[in-house]
DNA sequence: CAAATAGTGTCTCTAAGACAATATCAC
DNA sequence: GTGATATTGTCTTAGAGACACTATTTG
């Protein structure tokens, strides 16, 4: 209950007297996508991919950037990031993880603009299209390598374009988006490793090979399939259905087991 | 390098054409503090405490709230939260963890005001004072209990005042701060359990009993001291110094071992 | 000495890594 | 049959929980 004096205070309160920043929400949008089969005999590779847009407008016009845009009155920051992602690329995520705020002065040449970043996850293959502020939208393959100092870096490739942040300025990313992506990839690897967040990347039914391939694409770790199977077996349950036409022994399809309710 | 056309664009860009929110940073400030000794024979209890201020101004004038305030031009959100915490309470944290953005429409009666929340950690006993926008600043004991549905809730007590969010409106917290605190306590428990972030709460030298008491105050878990000692022994190293005057066998002081550099 | 806390050792159980062995399919 | 992947099982090791036992201090 607001007191009378508080009502009066609010009546006299004028937000426009104070300087305010513009606020944006940016989305590091990830998926694990099957590649091509090399022959009837080999399974397709599963690769981590990141969704970028090419900016239609200044600043950084023509550069690749994270989908995102300005927070509007009456919406939450989560609604904002989902709206902007849909407007610019047509994508609808299956999960949303908060990453944090990027507010370093000077990060946007237009002025005082701060951004809240999220990781969004898209299940399986999704067609994307450029829309709104985006001239184009494309999935980039994400790969990791170590730089001279042994630090883990990432590289983005889509056939035409190769983006390697911090190495020259050509084909680089807009704003501080390289840093945001780097933080996002670390965060999501941690969530997959220890938080059990892997099923957001998978369809309802999946084989153990798909589960493991996605896990490895996201964490960069490799494990023996027998040990991986044992480690994950408590989290999934068999469906009784099997793959076929794979050029080798069929694999059973599993689904995620409902989480236990902890009293 | 900005292109000529981008320079021109920026010259014509006027941020004030768009609606913007006010942005605040709020701090969930935690410490683990020794209590009183019951007698020469007993060790003091270690308790988790949370720093709140009593609001000097509308809205929620006179209510307890998280320290925090408006982001100002030329500062990052991290600088903002540290500045506001110092201005309002005099506290200087030893660690800062990002928690996330709170932006639900209607969360602030003054209008469109969104908040980025952080957990800040204070080492040991620190005197606080109300300052600036704060009429008072006090440490509250944090305790946990289960509600009717078995959900984990928290209670805040400082001798005079007991705050139990969600139970009646009296003595409740300002804005959505009860929710922010709840999220913060979950987050920090997770960090202490799995992220190794416990030493931020401790002085340079500490006994295993202090280490364990802090760990338990933050996670709510209890363990046998022998097992806890074994689990943590790789992370600490003995100093050769011992406590005295404790009414029982002296305990060796340990310090945190330097983290290994992983190649 | 009694009470309280510090610290060591041991038994068991479980999870994880290494690796061997068998199963089944498309061609 | 061959080559690829699926699936099961076994051996070993590391860590966690339970618990018994010894050590040292102050009043």
pLDDT for B72 equals 97
* Distance in Å, alpha carbon of B263 to nearest chain A alpha carbon: 7
CA of A7 to C1' of C11 (A): 68
Span B59-66, average pLDDT: 92
CA distance B164 to B169: 9
**If you measure CA to CA, which chain B residue comes closest to A262?**
B150
**If you measure CA to CA, which chain A residue comes closest to B146?**
A263
CB contact under 8 Å between A15 and B22, yes or no, is yes
Burial of A79 (0-12, 13-18, 19+ CB in 10 A): middle
Residues of A in contact with B116 (CB under 8 A): 101, 103, 116
CB contact under 8 Å between B98 and A103, yes or no, is no
CA distance A34 to A124: 8
Residue closest to A122 by CA, chosen among A28, A255, A235:
A28
**Which residue in A9, A10, A71, A197 has the most chain B C-beta atoms within 10 A of its own C-beta, making it the best mutation to test that interface?**
A71
CB contact under 8 Å between B101 and A22, yes or no, is no
Q: Which nucleotide is nearest to B248 (CA to C1')?
A: D25
- pLDDT tens digits, residue range B68-101? 999 999 999 999 999 999 999 999 999 999 999 9
High-pLDDT (> 70) share of chain B, %:
95
Inter-helix orientation angle A208-219/A225-232, to 10°: 100
pLDDT for B168 equals 52
Residue closest to B154 by CA, chosen among B217, B205, B197, B98:
B217
Residues of B in contact with A114 (CB under 8 A): 23, 71, 77
- pLDDT tens digits, residue range A102-155? 999 999 999 999 999 999 999 977 788 888 788 999 999 999 888 887 788 899
Q: Which residues of chain A have pLDDT under 50?
A: 170, 261-263
CB contact under 8 Å between B104 and A15, yes or no, is no
pLDDT for B125 equals 72
Q: Does B104 touch chain A (CB under 8 A)?
A: yes
pLDDT for B3 equals 57
CA distance B142 to B157: 7
Span B234-242, average pLDDT: 96
Contact A173, A64 (CB under 8 A): yes
Whether the predicted pLDDT of B261 surpasses 50: no
A18 → closest Cβ in B19, B22, B194: B22
Q: Taking the model in full, what pTM does it have? A: 0.92
B103 → closest Cβ in A58, A77, A110: A77
Residues of A in contact with B111 (CB under 8 A): 13, 15
A246 touches strand D (CB under 7 A): yes
Q: Which DSSP symbol is given to A235?
A: G
CA distance B149 to B135: 36
Between A and B, how many residue pairs show a Cβ–Cβ distance under 8 A? 115
CB contact under 8 Å between B13 and A110, yes or no, is yes
**Which residue in A4, A13, A23, A187 has the most chain B C-beta atoms within 10 A of its own C-beta, making it the best mutation to test that interface?**
A23
- pLDDT tens digits, residue range B101-138? 999 999 999 999 999 999 999 997 777 887 878 899 99
B105 → closest Cβ in A15, A75, A100: A75
- pLDDT tens digits, residue range B142-201? 998 888 877 888 999 998 889 988 755 545 899 999 999 999 999 999 999 998 999 999
CB contact under 8 Å between B1 and A100, yes or no, is no
């Amino acid at each position: 209950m607001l007191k009378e004096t508080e009502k009066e205070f609010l009546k006299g309160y004028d937000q426009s007297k104070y300087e305010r920043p513009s606020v944006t929400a940016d989305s590091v949008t990830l998926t694990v996508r099957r590649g091509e089969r090399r022959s009837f005999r080999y399974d397709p590779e599963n690769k981590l991919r990141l969704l970028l847009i090419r900016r239609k407008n200044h600043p950084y016009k023509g550069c690749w950037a994270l989908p995102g845009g300005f927070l509007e009155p009456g919406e939450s920051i989560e609604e904002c990031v989902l709206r902007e992602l849909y407007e610019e690329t047509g994508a609808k995520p299956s999960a949303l993880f908060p990453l944090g705020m990027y507010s370093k002065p000077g990060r946007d040449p237009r002025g005082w603009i701060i951004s809240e970043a999220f990781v969004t996850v898209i299940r399986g293959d999704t067609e994307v299209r450029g829309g709104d502020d985006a001239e184009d939208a494309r999935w980039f393959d994400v790969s990791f390598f170590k730089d001279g100092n042994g630090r883990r870096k990432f590289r983005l490739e889509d056939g035409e374009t190769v983006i390697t942040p911090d190495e020259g300025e050509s084909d680089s990313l807009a704003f501080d988006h390289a840093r945001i992506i780097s933080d996002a990839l670390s965060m999501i690897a941690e969530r997959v490793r220890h938080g059990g967040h892997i099923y957001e990347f998978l369809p309802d039914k999946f084989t153990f090979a798909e589960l493991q391939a996605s896990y490895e694409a996201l964490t960069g770790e490799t494990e023996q399939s027998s040990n991986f199977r044992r480690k994950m077996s408590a989290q999934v349950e068999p469906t009784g259905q099997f793959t076929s036409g794979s050029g080798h022994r069929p694999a059973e399809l599993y689904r995620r087991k409902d989480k236990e309710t902890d009293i």
